[in-house]
Amino acid sequence: MTLYGYPEVYATLLFPEPSLLEEIQEWIDEYLDGPCRSMLDPCCGPATWLMPFAARGIHVGGNDLLPGMIEEAERRLAPFSHELILGDMRRLSFERTPFDVAINFHSSIGHLPDRDAMAVHLTAVREHLRPGGLYFLGICVFDGDEADHEPEVLYESEPLTVPSGGLAAVRYESVCRDPLRSEETIRLLLLTSGVEGCPERLEEEYVLRALGAEAFRTLVDTVGGFDLLAVHQMDTVGRPDLGLFPDCGDVTVVLRRR
């Protein structure tokens, strides 16, 4: 049982904040060599990130493994220009391509089993971008020679109203960052009240694949066809571009297709 199995609750709790959306729009305006008319999310969930851009008139494409997420995304995107695919992030198959921008802000690439799978994913995204197109990719960058078992709260929501009824709140914690195993263990706690079909308490742990700074550079070089434009520090005020350096943590990298 996982939060990702409750698309409406997930969308309610993890919809991006307006200030972050505006900041991302500023990044697009800065790095893209023209207007953004189309956007791809290879791990779209219930279209939480695509919705705000679709509402601005941008054609959006979303891909996800879970039928329930695609169904919820279809419901939300119905008034707008869109294409949704049920499938693996390593095997994208959109008909209307190429895209100007691809986005993946929640480190979803870390759900892939190894670096070879990450390379296949990056290749698939590259092939769906036009020359000069951008990929905004959230990753975890850890270096060092020992694991950190100190819990750290990554995100904690207030109780929020679920549109179909009830309240929900969520907390994400990092409970172990292990650079030797290239892994981060995440603990999630979901609390609900009056949400039909959803448990009142749900706890889960899962592991995200992480990379060291040089390992990520090597991955991008191995895939080829991308230039690394910027590395924004997501845990720093103002989310500045400080470049890629060892143990830089949770970042959004900006890749441009050559």
DSSP label at residue 110: G
Q: Which domain holds residue 196?
A: 152-209
Domain count, the chain: 2
Report how far residue 243's alpha carbon sits from residue 230's, in angstroms, rounded to the nearest whole number.
6
Residues linked to residue 171 through DSSP beta bridges, in sequence order: 156, 189
Task: Name the average pLDDT for the chain.
Answer: 96
pLDDT band for 98, please (50, 70, 90 cuts). very high
- pLDDT band, residue 129 (cuts 50/70/90): very high
**Is 90 exceeded by the pLDDT of residue 106?**
no
Query: Cβ(166)–Cβ(194) under 8 Å?
Result: yes
62 with 92: CB under 8 angstroms? no
Mean pLDDT of 83-93: 97
- Same-domain check for residues 185 and 239: no
219 shares a domain with 240: yes
Q: Are residues 169 and 234 in the same domain?
A: no
Q: Are residues 180 and 225 in the same domain?
A: no
In Å, how far are 52, 137, 239 from 20, measured between CA atoms?
11, 15, 10
The torsion of the CA quartet 61, 66, 70, 72, rounded to 10 degrees, works out to -140
pLDDT digits (tens, 9 = 90+) for 6-58: 999 999 999 999 999 999 999 999 999 999 999 999 999 999 999 999 999 99
Q: Which residue has the higher pLDDT, 162 or 106?
A: 162
- C-alpha closest to that of 167 among 202, 195, 189: 195
CATH number, position 34: 3.40.50.150
pTM, rounded to two decimals: 0.96
Indicate whether 224 pLDDT > 90. Answer: yes
* pLDDT tier, 1 (very low <50, low <70, confident <90, very high otherwise): confident
CA distance 3 to 17: 20
Same domain membership, residue 23 and residue 86 = yes
- Using CA atoms, how far apart are residues 116 and 138, in angstroms rounded to an integer? 18
The answer on 241 and 198 residing in a single domain is no
pLDDT band at residue 66 using 50, 70 and 90 as cut-offs:
very high
Residues 82-103, mean pLDDT to the nearest whole number? 97
| Mean of pLDDT values over 243-249 | 95
- Shared domain for 64 and 191, answered yes or no, is no
